[in-house]
Amino acid sequence: MTDVEGAVLAALRRSAGRARLKVGVYYRGNPGLLRALLAEGHATVVAGDRFRALFRIAGQLGPPGARPFSIVEARFSALPFRPSSLDALVLTGGLPDGADPAPTIAALTPFLKPGGAIVFPHPVTDGTLGALSRVLSVLARGTQPPCRRHALCASAMSAGLREISQIAPRGRGVVPWIVTAGVVGRR
């Protein structure tokens, strides 16, 4: 398990306690993180817009009848979750590209029950490796470009999340990532 995976699981466990959650996952790679999430035993629906990545991971996880979770191909703009149906929503590959982060995060909140958590890792430009992450962000197609940690917090706050936290994984690699988590307030 990588440190990013461990940080995502720590944020999810903090919101779960000992309860079994209904978790939605937007999958865009990072099979290790998806396997770790599924091993937690929560009722999980995995959605993603990259058919090959979904097909590959589905083949590795066994036949559909033997899996206690569902895998669905869907665009980010048409996620297959009912309003107020999830306890947690995890993005495995950073915020999707194409829009400002605050509206992107805000678009996810209707799927969560009050008190539900959004957890997502994202590349950041803080620290000495920040300049390198800006250069390498060209390689991460489909993901928002790296940004400052405080910008992620500001986006989460303007999207209406509360109890926002960030976990900086230790072994962050060449491009630094931060795991941001926030709770949906009462409506």
pTM of the model: 0.86
Spatial CA neighbour of 6 closest among 172, 183, 174: 172
* Contacts of 174 by beta carbon, 8 Å cutoff, 6+ apart: 129, 132, 133, 136
Distances in Å between the Cα of 56 and the Cα atoms of 47, 50, 51 are 14, 10, 8
What's the confidence (pLDDT) of residue 136?
Answer: 57
- Per-residue pLDDT of 143-180, as tens digits, reads 677 788 899 999 999 999 999 999 888 755 667 888 99
> By mean pLDDT, which of 3-12, 126-135, 149-158 is the weakest?
126-135
Per-chain mean pLDDT for the chain: 84
Domain boundaries, the chain: 3-184
**Class of CATH domain 3-184:** alpha beta
Higher per-residue pLDDT: 122 or 84 = 84
